[in-house]
Structure 1
Amino acid sequence: MSRPAAAAAAALLVILAAAGGAAAKTTIEPCASADSCAALLGYTLYADMKVSEVAALFGADPAALLAANALDFASPGSANRILPAGLPLRVPTRCACNDGVRKSVSVRYSARPADTLATVADVVFAGLASADQIRNANGLAEVDPDALLDAGETLVIPFPCVCFNSTDNNLPAVYLSYVVRVGDTVESIAASHATTVTDLSNVNAMGSPIVAPGDILAIPLPACASAFPNFASDYGLLVANGTYALTAGNCVECSCGPGDLNLYCTPASLAASCSSMQCPNSSLVLGNVTAQPTSGGCSVSSCSYAGLVNGTIATLLSSGLQATCPGPHQFPPLMEPSTAASHGSFLSPSPAPGPGEAGGAVPGSSDPGRSTSSAGSFSQAGLVQPLHRLIFILSLVFYLHM
């Protein structure tokens, strides 16, 4: 990694906590400012759910949730589409600085009958937060995590996330908080997210390339960065490679990849009323590109998005001479989610994870399966038989004085 060793030592704290006899690890980034960054939460559905239900659970916009996963976000009725249990999603969130560490604390959850801290942590939010972390975030008395919560009780749910200046090896990156599943190895996780074992080990300050179910890794995803002025309301927009993001009140959709890491924005068809997207002194509108072959190359003009400024969509006209004329722009393909729900055991192994099991040494070679494969859902009986995991997070001060 290109980060200085001293900065990495100060920024990367791996907190070890007892979890029913097992060790659970989470990467923590200390911070001392009020800024935030775009981040992603890796979430596996515990039951068949509508897109709107998943979005409401995390306080997200349904279209933005679909866009972040390159799922068709513009089709009629997309918010009511039913997603199958076991489907892994990337949920967009803001990673802020809270109590001296990076975390996302914008989600509020209303307890249902039969909910306990353990089921909320391990089932509803799929291990993204521990029972102890939820209890501490809400100032609750230390009680059995299997004790029933009061129905209707509102809880703040803290999620782990990191920013690391939104870069990885000096390149734009969005960080995904990924909960390790049964069958995962560091090698299979790296292969599934187009990164390397070395990069994952460095980002997460891993002493050895070994993971266990329940660990939460920070995974850097290559991204397209915007160059909007700092007075634009969507300043700092980042879009993970192969996905989309909606901005300007859902008037503009921006995509990243697949051919390069240059942000490309076009009008979206989701909003009823949008300001003009025509470039000044031009007939071109946002996303238009014209190319005219000349004796010296190709004269190219384009109208690009320059951010949302005072509620108005800013556009930028650029012209120049290129060696060759560009071909049609390639957009990341929009996929349809699988409609087949798997009702097997919760956190079942991914297909072909490689010869090593989670918690073991990384094998020398394997043909790992994609982590985006659907895992089984948690059975209805599992909702009242929570995983007995108790996470004890060491404080930053105590850790530094060990």
Structure 2
Amino acid sequence: MSGGNKMVTVWLITVAVVLVASVGITVTEAQPEANFKCLTENATCRSLTDYTSTNSTTLKEIATLFGVKHFLDLLGANNLPSNTNNSYKVNPNQVIKVPFPCKCSNRTGTSNHVPRYKIVPGDTLDAIARVRFAGLVKYQQIQTANKIPDANNITAGATIWIPLPCSCDLVDGTSVMHYAHIVPMGSSIQSIAQQYAISQQTLLSLNDLDDPKNLLAGQLLDVPLPVCNSSIKSDSLDFPLLVPNATYFYTAHECVKCKCDSTGDNKNLQCEASNLKPINNWSVCPSLKCSGSVLLGNTTSTDSCSRRVCDYTGYTSSRNISTTLATQNTCAVAPSGSGDSGSGASRSMLNGWVLNKLLILIHFLILFVYLLSYNSQHLCSFSFFLSMD
């Protein structure tokens, strides 16, 4: 290859490397710190967060990392069969929804003193936040929550609290489960709203986004998941029982299994006896019936738009589970806020930027291959043309 060819080759490779690097920097650009609004002081509830690992892992390892007390909660949140083994393999970058308890304080929601992480030699707060917990929190949040004077000086063997963002607030006057959703590359406010049957305006307002184009890949978004209607009483130990669509939850010391399947006409929580051995201090599950032979979950009558069912209403610490014969509406109802045809959220700003850079890079690479196919004489002609231009 001639000296001229070599110079052009070096120049093109340099440009390509710079473009690739700039794309990489954008993809890993620091995302804004996630702080979910929670205006009800001292409120507690169940929340969800996305989690992805760059390496292969198992459900057991994820449950241990996040301090999930009951393995069935993790299965239910991901709608996995209840007999799934804890050695179930989770592939790199596979999204797993992790349930955790949330508590509101000072108008912000954080996980209720879980997860607890034990520092190992070589750890830094930044690595714990970015790598171990996949960027769900920033190291500054961990530092503040644990009152660590110097972020660069942490002690191996010490246990720290990882304050995950969450909320217990009603949204548009309705109970929801707040879900810390990691925005995928190429996603948009519009597609997320459609996927989870909520309004675009609700998403924008809840996350203080003025413009849907400001959504960034990797950003942690507060997504309020609609939950099934239930008959749970306010004095029940599991109130409010928030079960989003396509999930299930074991309650009343795992004596009762409740699932939400609102893909059909029924938007009501469907509860039945779990047939499991109870946990904690209960030796056996109490009777789960409304009357006579009518058991929990049995339907006694139906008509065109309703049904009469033995429904779960809660439990107390005195080994008591209550039920009632309830009338449930079974007619189809349009998902709240699923329209918003006028809001027109576009693709994320980050995704568009990356695509532009990739297109430029592709053009340069095509030009690079094209030039390499020419001999020195063609290269000279091309250089002369560029100088004339």
Q: Normalized against structure 2, the TM-score is what?
A: 0.69
The answer as to 2:225 corresponding to 1:221 is yes
- Where 2:142 maps in the other structure, the secondary structure is helix
Partner of residue 109 from structure 1, selected from 117, 122, 138:
117
Partner of residue 318 from structure 1, selected from 317, 320, 325:
325
Distance across 1 between alignment mates of 2:173 and 2:253: 30
Q: Which residue is 1:66 aligned to?
A: 75
Q: Which has the higher contact order (CA 8 A, sep 6+)?
A: 1
Q: Which residue is 1:255 aligned to?
A: 259
Structure 1's unaligned 5+ residue stretches are: 1-19, 328-353, 363-402
Q: Which residue is 2:195 aligned to?
A: 192
- Where 2:227 maps in the other structure, the secondary structure is strand
Q: Which residue is 1:380 aligned to?
A: none
Over the residues paired in the alignment, what is the CA RMSD in angstroms? 3.3
Q: Which residue is 2:350 aligned to?
A: 359
The answer as to 2:179 corresponding to 1:169 is no
Structure 1 pair 358/317, CA: closer, same or farther in 2 (3 Å)?
same
The offset of 1:21, in angstroms, is 7.4
How big is each residue's C-alpha offset from its partner over 1:296-355, in whole Å with a ceiling of 9 and x where there is no partner? x99965322121123434243427799xxx89xxxxxxxxxxxxxxxxxxxxxxxxxx99
Matches within 5 A, 1:53-202: 53-60=61-68, 61-73=70-82, 75=83, 78-104=85-111, 105-144=113-152, 149-165=154-170, 168-202=171-205
The answer as to 2:294 corresponding to 1:284 is yes
Distance across 2 between alignment mates of 1:193 and 1:298: 25
Q: Which amino acid aligns with 1:252?
A: V
Structure 1 pair 132/277, CA: closer, same or farther in 2 (3 Å)?
same
How big is each residue's C-alpha offset from its partner over 1:363-400, in whole Å with a ceiling of 9 and x where there is no partner? xxxxxxxxxxxxxxxxxxxxxxxxxxxxxxxxxxxxxx
Q: Which amino acid aligns with 2:293?
A: S
Structure 1 pair 248/62, CA: closer, same or farther in 2 (3 Å)?
same
* Stretch deviating more after TM superposition (80-89 or 215-224): 80-89
Distance across 2 between alignment mates of 1:179 and 1:231: 34
Matches within 5 A, 1:287-302: 287-291=297-301, 301-302=308-309
Structure 1 pair 357/231, CA: closer, same or farther in 2 (3 Å)?
closer
Distance across 1 between alignment mates of 2:327 and 2:187: 48
Identity among equivalent positions (%) equals 29
The offset of 1:30, in angstroms, is 5.0
Q: Which residue is 1:43 aligned to?
A: 51
Q: Which amino acid aligns with 2:288?
A: Q
- Where 1:78 maps in the other structure, the secondary structure is coil
> Of Structure 1 and Structure 2, which has the larger fraction of its residues in strand?
1
Structure 2's unaligned 5+ residue stretches are: 1-27, 332-344, 354-389
> Of Structure 1 and Structure 2, which has the larger fraction of its residues in helix?
2
The offset of 1:31, in angstroms, is 3.7
Q: Which residue is 2:379 aligned to?
A: none
How big is each residue's C-alpha offset from its partner over 1:223-250, in whole Å with a ceiling of 9 and x where there is no partner? 0243322322112111011111110111
Structure 1 pair 120/299, CA: closer, same or farther in 2 (3 Å)?
closer
- Where 1:158 maps in the other structure, the secondary structure is coil
**Contact 1:291 1:298 (8 Å CA) reproduced:** no
| Structure with bigger gyration radius | 2
Q: Normalized against structure 1, the TM-score is what?
A: 0.67
The offset of 1:143, in angstroms, is 3.6
How big is each residue's C-alpha offset from its partner over 1:103-156, in whole Å with a ceiling of 9 and x where there is no partner? 113211012233221221111111111011111111112344xx7x53322111
Count of matched residue positions in the alignment of Structure 1 and Structure 2: 305
- Where 2:323 maps in the other structure, the secondary structure is strand
